[in-house]
Structure 1
Amino acid sequence: MRIIPRALCLLCCISVSLAAKAQQQKKNESYHLRIKRAVSPVKIDGIIDEQAWQEADAATNFHMVLPMDTSAARLRTDVRMTYDQQHIYLLVESYTPDAGPYMVESLRRDFAFLKNDNFLLFMDPFDDQTNGFSFGANAAGAQWDGLMYDGGKVDLSWDNKWTSVVKNYKDKWVFEAAIPFKTIRYKKGITHWGINFSRNDLKTTEKSAWAPVPRQFATASLAYTGSLDWDTVPPAAGPNISLIPYLLGGIAKDYDKGTPSKFRRDIGLDAKVAITSSLNLDLTVNPDFSQVDVDKQVTNLDRFELFFPEKRQFFLENGDQFSNFGYSTIRPFFSRRIGLGAPIHFGARLSGKLNKDWRLGVMNMQTGKQEEIGLPAQNFTVAALQRRVFSRSNVGFLFINKESLNYDPAKVEDKPVYSRYNRNVGLEYNLASSNNFWTGKAMLLKSYSPGKTGHDFAHAANLQYTSKAWNISWQHEYVGRNYNAEVGYVPRQGYIKLMPQVTRLFFPQSGVVLSHGPQVTSTWFLNEKFRRTDNESMLNYGIVFRKRNTLNIWASNTYIQLLNPFDPTNTGKDSLKTGTRHNWNTVGADYVSKPQSLFTYAFSARYGGYYEDGTRLMTNAELGYRFQPYVSIALSANYNNIRLPQPWGNNSFWLVGPRLDVTMTNTLFFTGFMQYNEQQKNINLNTRFQWRYRPASDLFVVYTDNYLPEPFYVKNRALVLKLVYWFNI
């Protein structure tokens, strides 16, 4: 296989060339906001009456990003920043052409940017154009905070202590915030931080930014930040230790097994220790994740394992070095493998910046035994090291070790056999040009498992060019038949994948359409002897309207040669034989309504062939209505009709999920979510009440029910009460 060396050489050559250009001129280097020490105390109340704000410099004259990126913003936005020994202060005046009402989803934190009138701050305190923090609020006062990584992505699972207030006036809404220095990480001694501000206004459909950003990129792109210039070195955060204990009580009953009710009484502790101003140690003892959102179910018609995202905050927070290594279907580390069917006893993670160029992540987790299935106690160690190269690119190293403790598979009888160990070692190069037009990745992985040698490595590479009119990309993958990532997500082994893609966009000067254009994608799977096993070719035509509603119409051709027996309904009926070949055509359409309406909707439909001379019709609808900002009602409904010859016959599957979100205030929330899955013959009800009684401290009440729909009866149910308290030492 010579694909990887050639791709890696190409990426390196492009990166060297672009790095040379980046050294000549940094993007938006003329945009500066000076931040001075506050000359008076600042009260977070949304009222601009402090002397500190009167004397603070203002960032104004925002630039339009959408619908066009060639003019000044129509709406005026003024931003001021100041600081004292403990906090950074932010004041934003978002002027509006009329009194409202403002368009927001709810008061729930970490809202969807494009569905709310909102303001966001993007901050790069390392000045490396790769990592940082984001803070913001919508026009009703809901908070937004997240960790930034990969030069412009935001991990909203990060949740920390800071305060803010939004106050509405006749001609503007004011957002005022205080962010403790202890909340963020920053390089000691740096007096220039990358910074940008972004505003979204749904009534005018205008998205704007202080430092201009091309419209093909998110305004979060750290390649286009201006500079926050400190009048002196930012204050040291000082000793920074946070303890976050929890108390939990609950009751659960399994009606299926007929066992007595089980009472839960638990206690656990998380701790955060700032080793340096940019390096943090996280510790956890007996963690509990009962308040985490339930997975959104899907009708499973896939031949391979489905992916459900991680939602446990300990694994998500600052975990991008581990979880983003690789590609969507070649993840050597997938944290949901930890604690699967077994309790987590304790864990530790050291993560952050060593300096401007080096970034470190080390994690160790210990799980207990699960006697019922013979699962031994296991230890998981993950280590990642990243080095910035050129202007915005980096090289990363990853090591993963899963070890079964005091376990000998030879002595196990009548129970599943677990491996004694599984290890993965990987190297990755990430390309990001100074202007973000060129991005790419090249990766090499090798696994080590007892009894598995040869064909035990994986590699992949991609290169993408993104301009206003063109998006052109190439990606290939190779996974050996013995490559084994037991702590990862690699649903398929023993294949080669090739995937070119081309998109062309057109931008009318006027009219209801903002952009439109075709996209051509072709995906090929080959076995290790370079013989075709699967391929799908798709032609899509996409339209984005000026009101931000979207329409996509597409057609595809699919070919599959089965590598294993497969039941095309996934209901336990007969299976198609290995080696059988299947080919069919499909057409489909997707429509998403404009986000500024109180009533929103999205529809999808597809119809075409399906295995063994069958047909498949799929329709999907998502409806939503908001009584802003307090109540949001949503309903999703998915229907699949599959017609096949006997023994499968005619099969219909409904998947229905109504959801209710009530946000009494921006600290008091209720969520109710029901899912009816006809394929799995299950009804699930999950309700959660959350009271944020002080910053980052919560009371949760969670109730869960599972029912069998026919005949209708309770399978199991549980009630949990959990109290979390965050305090600093």
Structure 2
Amino acid sequence: MRITLLIALALFFGLNSLFAQKINSDYRLHIRKASSEIRIDGVLDEQAWEEAEVATDFYMITPMDTSFARVKTDVRMSYDDQNLYLIVVNHHAVEGPYMVESLRRDFSFGKNDNFLLFMDPFEDLTNGFSFGANAAGAQWDGQMYNGGSVDLSWDNKWVSKVKNYEDKWIFEAAIPFKSIRYKKGITEWGINFSRLDLKTTEKSGWAPVPRQFPSASLAYTGTLVWDNPPPDAGANISVIPYVLGGVRKDHQNGGENSFRREVGVDAKISLTSSLNLDLTVNPDFSQVEVDRQVTNLDRFELFFPERRQFFLENGDLFAGFGYSTIRPFFSRRIGLNAPIQFGARLSGKLNKDWRIGAMNMQTGEVGESALPAQNFTVMALQRQVGARSNIGAIFVNKESLRYNPDEVAQGQPIYSQFNRNVGLEYNLASANNLWTGKAMVLKSFAPDGTGEGFVHAANLKYASGNLTWNWQHEYVSQNYTAEVGFVPRNGFFRISPMVGYRWFPKSEKILSHGPDFNVSMFFNTNGVQTDNTTYATYSVRFRSQSNLLGWVAYDFVKLQRPFDPTNFSGETLATGTEHSWNAVGLEYTSKPQSVFTYAFIGRVGGYYADGQRYNFTTDFGYRFQPYVSLAMSTNFNQIQLPQPWGDTRFWLIGPRVDVTMTNTLFFTAFVQYNEQIKNINLNTRFQWRFKPASDLFLVYTDNYLPAPFYTKNRSLVLKFTYWWNL
């Protein structure tokens, strides 16, 4: 295993050294200090804008990446002692109204006419920030990581204005230097601009980006050249207190009204222009939208993403370590079953090459479950190597305080005294982004030795314009444990090769089409195959941005533990039984330009115990742009099995309405009916962003038993937060 890892590391370092020069280094935009005051009003009438250099002549990314864009876009940038300024003239190429989904912040990229800015203030081609807006003025902001991913859960203070004209729409913004992180004294930043125009179905960028990569790819940024080093942001301390009042009643257990009267505070302290300290005392996340329910027919725990703001800035340092099903740290393990009392998090850049993350969180005791107070410590360190690659290390520790398992009363659950993980990984990203990959090792520690185990995994991916292939393998020992991570299964070795090919015909209808082949095989630690899923798909992407995909699959499972194939009846299949089946499926997503959109997924085929499973999923949407968006999602499963299961049917239905009265006033309501868990959930949320990053929330939640229609519990919360810069 060690030899395999060393070979992988040697190969990755070799590949990385092949590409060391920045690709779009010739694309340079000069920025100078504003000679006049700039008003954020969507009007290009200030002297500073007349004097600013213009970034224009964008290159098309899709549908083709071999010519200039049809739509014309002009970008100017400037700055003063407090803000970075941006103004963009988005000219129309085709007559007609703009197309947007709503005025909601952090909109869906592909469903809106929009302009986005991607900036890399360290010129490391890996980390940065994104800001933008759609044609109706809804804001977009996110933190960038892994060279092209954008975490839209990150929010910060900035102001913008969009103004529409007959032949264009203008986006103007002021981004405070206090809201971003950058290296003091550096005079060249990586930068690129992206424009999506749905009427022409054209995506374009100032610095050209190959069409197989997202326009956010930092490997293909140009350069923003400052006339002087950006000004020091100065003392940058933000205090974000909240006050909350609420009431909850548990009807199911005959409880009385329980009232909430809480206060808490977060603080953000910039130790340097690129290193941030976050502090929290008695945090509350009641305004976070509840998880979308799913019909669970899986043998393993399902993953739900983190939505809580405190854990998100530079979150890739912690959560990005490992793979989707091998995560030594998963922040949702903290504070969902116990109250968080306080916490601190240090994260950011030490210099161009080094990033650091350190987190400590303290939770309180929970009497009902005899859960002791626990302390969580996570430390991460990342060193850039080569053009865009890095080496990372992580340490995760969960400690139960004032707790001795030998003294637990009879009948009470027993918790571990501690669980620790240490890990090392190498992340490959070549300068041109054609080669990416990862190699990692993890070791867990536990007090009695039973939770001590080992993990090794690696992958190597190549993605050109036509050909994509990936090799991945994983090994997780039987005793490996990650109590603060997400590792749904252990005791296996997995190999998963994938290859795909795309043709780009000269067609007025079809943008691309081609097949993909994927195999995922699991073996237990004795070398016996336990799972095999083999997929063959063929996808067609139309120039209208609609998509069609068909697939066939073969599945084999040798159960390693009892399993209920309905996750509902309580009747299980025996350990060691073998099951195999074939299935086919079809998926279609309509073009996003229409005010009426739809998508469907259908599956027909075998299932466990020589059974049959039929599934269809539909999504419908209609928008009265830009103010109201209506959506309805449905999921139906029919499972036909021999006795004692018989014929089982599950519906999951979720209507939703979004009302965006302005780009600061939002109302959302959705219902989730889940037949599998016999629950109806109603969630409504009103949000008023009365100042940048300062909000008033009113959240109402109900849970019902479907039949008879009976209230399980309900709650109402009013929360006020204010972002105060000292």
TM tier relative to shorter chain: over 0.9
Please point out which of 307, 321, 325 is paired with 1:311. Answer: 307
Please point out which of 2, 5, 11 is paired with 1:13. Answer: 11
Please point out which of 253, 258, 282 is paired with 2:278. Answer: 282
The corresponding residue for 1:475 is 472
Q: CA deviation at 1:8?
A: 4.4
Please point out which of 323, 328, 337 is paired with 1:327. Answer: 323
Please point out which of 679, 684, 687 is paired with 1:687. Answer: 684
Q: CA deviation at 1:18?
A: 3.6
Please point out which of 218, 221, 229 is paired with 1:225. Answer: 221
Assess if the C-alpha contact under 8 Å between 1:189 and 1:234 holds in 2: yes
Secondary structure of 1:410 counterpart: helix
Secondary structure of 1:146 counterpart: strand
Q: CA deviation at 1:411?
A: 1.1
Q: CA deviation at 1:97?
A: 2.5
Secondary structure of 1:371 counterpart: coil
Assess if the C-alpha contact under 8 Å between 2:73 and 2:88 holds in 1: yes
Q: CA deviation at 1:11?
A: 4.2
Q: In the superposition, relative to structure 1, how do residues 636 and 87 fare at CA in structure 2: closer, same or farther (>3 Å)?
A: same
The corresponding residue for 2:588 is 591
Q: Which amino acid letter does the alignment assign opposite residue 649 of structure 2? A: S
Secondary structure of 2:670 counterpart: strand
1:528 partnered with 2:506? no
The corresponding residue for 2:369 is 373
Q: CA deviation at 1:100?
A: 2.8
Secondary structure of 2:368 counterpart: helix
In structure 2, how many angstroms separate the alpha carbons of the residues matched to 1:10 and 1:720? 52
Q: In the superposition, relative to structure 1, how do residues 271 and 641 fare at CA in structure 2: closer, same or farther (>3 Å)?
A: same
Secondary structure of 2:49 counterpart: helix
Q: CA deviation at 1:7?
A: 4.6
The corresponding residue for 1:503 is 500
The corresponding residue for 2:539 is 542
Give a deviation string over 1:553-594, Cα, whole Å, max 9, x none: 000010000000111011133110000000100000110000
Assess if the C-alpha contact under 8 Å between 2:19 and 2:387 holds in 1: no
The corresponding residue for 1:657 is 654
In structure 2, how many angstroms separate the alpha carbons of the residues matched to 1:301 and 1:70? 45
Give a deviation string over 1:287-308, Cα, whole Å, max 9, x none: 0000001100011111111111
Q: CA deviation at 1:351?
A: 0.2
Q: Which amino acid letter does the alignment assign opposite residue 684 of structure 2? A: T
The corresponding residue for 2:70 is 74
Assess if the C-alpha contact under 8 Å between 1:130 and 1:150 holds in 2: yes
The corresponding residue for 1:26 is 22
Alignment of structure 1 residues 593-672 onto 2, 5 Å: 593-672=590-669
Secondary structure of 2:50 counterpart: helix
Structure 2, gaps ≥5 residues long: none
Please point out which of 316, 334, 339 is paired with 1:343. Answer: 339
Please point out which of 87, 97, 104 is paired with 1:101. Answer: 97
In structure 2, how many angstroms separate the alpha carbons of the residues matched to 1:15 and 1:469? 25
Q: Which amino acid letter does the alignment assign opposite residue 229 of structure 2? A: V
In structure 2, how many angstroms separate the alpha carbons of the residues matched to 1:42 and 1:144? 21
In structure 2, how many angstroms separate the alpha carbons of the residues matched to 1:127 and 1:453? 45
In structure 2, how many angstroms separate the alpha carbons of the residues matched to 1:719 and 1:53? 48
Q: CA deviation at 1:316?
A: 1.7
The corresponding residue for 1:445 is 442
Assess if the C-alpha contact under 8 Å between 2:94 and 2:199 holds in 1: no
Q: CA deviation at 1:318?
A: 1.8
Give a deviation string over 1:231-285, Cα, whole Å, max 9, x none: 0111000000000000000000000111110011000000000000100000000
Q: CA deviation at 1:153?
A: 0.6
Assess if the C-alpha contact under 8 Å between 1:98 and 1:171 holds in 2: no
Assess if the C-alpha contact under 8 Å between 1:98 and 1:170 holds in 2: no
Assess if the C-alpha contact under 8 Å between 1:11 and 1:431 holds in 2: no
Q: CA deviation at 1:643?
A: 0.4
More off after superposition, 705-714 vs 507-516: 507-516
Q: Which amino acid letter does the alignment assign opposite residue 6 of structure 1? A: T
Alignment of structure 1 residues 153-168 onto 2, 5 Å: 153-168=149-164
Give a deviation string over 1:338-376, Cα, whole Å, max 9, x none: 013110000000000000000000000000000111000
The corresponding residue for 1:362 is 358
Please point out which of 432, 455, 459 is paired with 1:458. Answer: 455
More off after superposition, 120-129 vs 316-325: 316-325
Alignment of structure 1 residues 180-329 onto 2, 5 Å: 180-329=176-325
Assess if the C-alpha contact under 8 Å between 2:452 and 2:481 holds in 1: no
Q: Which amino acid letter does the alignment assign opposite residue 343 of structure 2? A: G
Identity of aligned residues (%): 66
Q: In the superposition, relative to structure 1, how do residues 473 and 46 fare at CA in structure 2: closer, same or farther (>3 Å)?
A: same
Assess if the C-alpha contact under 8 Å between 2:74 and 2:88 holds in 1: yes
More off after superposition, 608-617 vs 570-579: 570-579
Give a deviation string over 1:448-470, Cα, whole Å, max 9, x none: 01223586011100000000100
The corresponding residue for 2:567 is 570
In structure 1, how many angstroms separate the alpha carbons of the residues matched to 2:113 and 2:188? 29
Assess if the C-alpha contact under 8 Å between 1:642 and 1:651 holds in 2: yes
In structure 1, how many angstroms separate the alpha carbons of the residues matched to 2:114 and 2:304? 29
Please point out which of 159, 165, 173 is paired with 2:169. Answer: 173
Assess if the C-alpha contact under 8 Å between 1:158 and 1:318 holds in 2: no
The corresponding residue for 1:411 is 407
Give a deviation string over 1:165-219, Cα, whole Å, max 9, x none: 0000111000000000101000011000000000001000000000000000001
Give a deviation string over 1:44-69, Cα, whole Å, max 9, x none: 00011100000000000000000000
Give a deviation string over 1:369-428, Cα, whole Å, max 9, x none: 001110000000000000000110000000000000000111112111100000000001
The corresponding residue for 1:48 is 44
More off after superposition, 480-489 vs 99-108: 99-108
In structure 1, how many angstroms separate the alpha carbons of the residues matched to 2:104 and 2:534? 40
Q: In the superposition, relative to structure 1, how do residues 359 and 638 fare at CA in structure 2: closer, same or farther (>3 Å)?
A: same
Q: Which amino acid letter does the alignment assign opposite residue 17 of structure 2? A: A
More off after superposition, 524-533 vs 206-215: 524-533
In structure 2, how many angstroms separate the alpha carbons of the residues matched to 1:89 and 1:204? 28
1:120 partnered with 2:116? yes
Q: CA deviation at 1:489?
A: 0.3
Q: CA deviation at 1:329?
A: 0.3
1:723 partnered with 2:720? yes
Q: CA deviation at 1:21?
A: 3.5
Secondary structure of 1:282 counterpart: strand
The corresponding residue for 2:394 is 398
TM-score of the two chains, using structure 1 as the length reference: 0.99
Q: Which amino acid letter does the alignment assign opposite residue 425 of structure 2? A: E
The corresponding residue for 1:700 is 697
Q: CA deviation at 1:99?
A: 4.7
Give a deviation string over 1:11-56, Cα, whole Å, max 9, x none: 433433442442xx42011100000000000000001110000000
Assess if the C-alpha contact under 8 Å between 2:15 and 2:435 holds in 1: no
Q: Which amino acid letter does the alignment assign opposite residue 500 of structure 1? A: P
The corresponding residue for 1:144 is 140
Q: Which amino acid letter does the alignment assign opposite residue 689 of structure 1? A: F
In structure 1, how many angstroms separate the alpha carbons of the residues matched to 2:85 and 2:128? 17
Aligned residues: 725
The corresponding residue for 2:671 is 674
In structure 2, how many angstroms separate the alpha carbons of the residues matched to 1:455 and 1:286? 33
In structure 2, how many angstroms separate the alpha carbons of the residues matched to 1:55 and 1:41? 13
In structure 2, how many angstroms separate the alpha carbons of the residues matched to 1:180 and 1:44? 13
Q: Which amino acid letter does the alignment assign opposite residue 256 of structure 1? A: Q
In structure 2, how many angstroms separate the alpha carbons of the residues matched to 1:606 and 1:706? 30
Secondary structure of 1:141 counterpart: coil
In structure 2, how many angstroms separate the alpha carbons of the residues matched to 1:95 and 1:490? 49
Q: CA deviation at 1:510?
A: 1.7
Assess if the C-alpha contact under 8 Å between 1:470 and 1:503 holds in 2: yes
